[in-house]
Amino acid sequence: MYVKKRRLGRGVAIVGAGVSKFGSFSDKTSRDLFIEAFNELKQSVDRGIDPKDIEALYLGNHIGEYCEGQSLMAPIIAGYLGMIPKPATRVENACVSSGVALREGIIAIASGLYDIVLVGGVEKMTTLSTEGVTDALGSALDALYETPAGFTFPGIYAAMATTYMDKYGAKEEHFMKVAIKNHNNGALNPKAQFNTTIKDIMNGRIAKAKQKGQPIPTWVDEIEFLKDPKANPVVAWPMKLFDCSPITDGASCLLLVAEEVAKSFTDTPVYVIGTGQGSDYPLYEREDMTTILAAKFAAQEAYAMAGVKPEDIQIAEVHDCFTIAELVGIEDIGFFPSGGAIKAIEEGLTARDGAKPINTSGGLKSKGHPVGATGTAQAAEIWLQMRGQAGARQVPGKDISLALTHNVGGSGPTCAIHIYERR
């Protein structure tokens, strides 16, 4: 695969970030969620930001049509932020909508058109039933050839999992270990939808059974709990409930500025030194169904632009919409060789205190996955980790100066990867 070495006209830095609480909020609309994230962003800009100085908005949103009957959402959000008449654009690339919004913001600053750009994403999913969400997210598959075959979004990742199991000998336990790790991190993230470990969920169920005088489950550890189909029913085999990211309401945003003005906002900007985006066919047309070409291409582009290698990256947020996706993802970004993710999860290399901490935020699995908001929420976690502001989940013993986000859309037809530097 030939990757052209690309250069941006100007450097770009993140000087503020905000994330709403992730969860299920029946009385909040997309607008309310985005404002919540934006209010946190305003607080996060060390020397402050006047919203009137923001020159453009790129907004990621995936299924606003299904969830709120709302298209053309970007100018509506801009209106609530007081940004009229500045340009506002919605980017829709399924679960990488705000990852691509971030990329478009970077490109727009690099073009010389703007100095200060707001990028972000929002998704209000809990207005729909599980069936409704399955239908809505299913729109990201190939509507002509995948959905007629009955594939759902979890189903297509499950199919990927069966080829991965067949080719590399992965077992269901390996997927479970990804979920356990990410819940361990999410338990330390107050914004997370599931702000608790799987062990605590298990112990909670045992306590509840005791309290209610019901038969007491005999799970000895989390793996046994996750192997119990009553506790962890199949969604699309081999993906079970605890392999799947939840249905989430949430929003996130970042303030991007041209590198030369970054220091007027903060002493510790986070520079975006690499951006890559790629595309791939639907799963059935891919030469190798255990990898995502869009991610490999995006990663190579981002590494080439940043002038760094996978081994230089200290932490990453990786798109774990399903547990199989994290295993494939950490291989696609070159952290581990093909099939090597199995050993990595077995040996705890991707744990918060491991060699390559992955998803310190809790990942999509535990933090929640408001699809359109996920890309910029990943970057917001990197922002905190790089500035040493991640609180209880701050990676121990590492001064983070190079990090990466890996954000995938749909089953992998699109992916955006960004590399961040703290100087």
Partner 1 sequence: MVSQKEFTDAAFNQLLGEGKLMASRCKKCGALHLPPKPICVNCQEGNMEWTILKGKGKLAAFTTIAVGLPRMIQEGYGRDNPYCSGIVELEEGPRISARILDVDARNPQKLKVGMPLVVDFLERGEGENKRTLLAFKPV
Q: Point out which residues bind partner 1 (CB under 8 A).
A: 26-29, 31-32, 35, 38-39, 50-52, 79-82, 84, 130-131, 134-135, 138, 142, 144-152, 154-156, 158-163, 166, 233-239, 282-285, 289
Query: Strands 12-19 and 270-279, how do they pair?
Result: antiparallel
- Judged by beta carbon, residue 1 or residue 220, the one nearer a second copy is 1
d(CA 373, CA 126): 14
- Judged by beta carbon, residue 143 or residue 209, the one nearer partner 1 is 143
- Touching a second copy, residues 38-67 (CB under 8 A): 55-56, 62-63, 65-66
Q: Give me the sheet containing 402-409, strands edge to edge.
A: 56-60, 116-124, 249-258, 12-19, 270-279, 414-421, 402-409, 315-318
Backbone angles phi, psi at 39, to 5 degrees: -60, -40
- Judged by beta carbon, residue 31 or residue 422, the one nearer a second copy is 31
On whether the CB atoms of residues 77 and 391 are closer than 8 A, the answer is no
d(CA 196, CA 191): 11
Shortest Å distance, C-beta 55 to a second copy: 8
Place of tokens 């009385």: 27
Which residues are known catalytic residues? 95, 369
Say whether residue 370 binds a second copy (CB under 8 A).
Answer: no
Beta strands in 280-413 (DSSP E): 315-318, 402-409
Q: Which residues make Cβ contacts (< 8 Å) with residue 85, sequence separation at least 6?
A: none
Q: How many CA atoms lie within 13 A of 311 on its CB side?
A: 1
Each residue 280-319 as x (binds a second copy by CB under 8 A) or -, in order, gives xxx--x-------xx-xxx---------------------
On whether the CB atoms of residues 296 and 383 are closer than 8 A, the answer is no
Instruction: Answer with the entry of partner 1, a second copy, none that 203 interacts with (C-beta below 5 to 8 A by kind).
Output: none
On whether the CB atoms of residues 189 and 367 are closer than 8 A, the answer is yes
Helical pair 323-332 and 172-186, crossing angle rounded to 10 deg: 90
d(CA 87, CA 89): 7
Nearest of 7, 12, 129, 109 to residue 58 by alpha carbon: 109
Shortest Å distance, C-beta 84 to partner 1: 8
d(CA 401, CA 313): 8
For residue 146, CA distances in Å to 36, 140, 282, 382 come to: 37, 10, 8, 34
- Judged by beta carbon, residue 155 or residue 375, the one nearer partner 1 is 155
Shortest Å distance, C-beta 102 to a second copy: 12
Say whether residue 409 binds a second copy (CB under 8 A).
Answer: yes
d(CA 174, CA 224): 13
- Touching a second copy, residues 110-139 (CB under 8 A): 110-114, 138-139
Q: Which amino acid is at 129?
A: S
- Touching a second copy, residues 146-185 (CB under 8 A): 147
Instruction: Answer with the entry of a second copy, partner 1, none that 148 interacts with (C-beta below 5 to 8 A by kind).
Output: partner 1
Question: Which of 279, 334, 338, 394 is close enough to bind a second copy by CB under 8 A?
Answer: 279
Question: Which of 94, 116, 202, 244 is close enough to bind a second copy by CB under 8 A?
Answer: 94
Instruction: Answer with the entry of a second copy, partner 1, none that 168 interacts with (C-beta below 5 to 8 A by kind).
Output: none
With contacts defined by CB under 8 A, name the span among 88-96, 191-199, 216-224, 393-401 that binds a second copy. 88-96
Q: Which amino acid is at 150?
A: G
Each residue 2-41 as x (binds a second copy by CB under 8 A) or -, in order, gives --x-xxxxx------------------x-x----------
Alpha helices in 147-197 (DSSP H): 153-168, 172-186
- Judged by beta carbon, residue 360 or residue 405, the one nearer a second copy is 405
Instruction: Answer with the entry of partner 1, a second copy, none that 44 interacts with (C-beta below 5 to 8 A by kind).
Output: none
Question: Which of 5, 130, 144, 211 is close enough to bind a second copy by CB under 8 A?
Answer: 144
Query: Strands 12-19 and 249-258, how do they pair?
Result: antiparallel
Shortest Å distance, C-beta 147 to a second copy: 7
Say whether residue 277 binds a second copy (CB under 8 A).
Answer: yes
List of residues contacting a second copy (CB under 8 A): 1, 4, 6-10, 29, 31, 55-56, 62-63, 65-66, 68-72, 74-76, 78-79, 83-94, 100, 104, 107-108, 110-114, 138-140, 142-144, 147, 277-282, 285, 293-294, 296-298, 409-410, 413-414
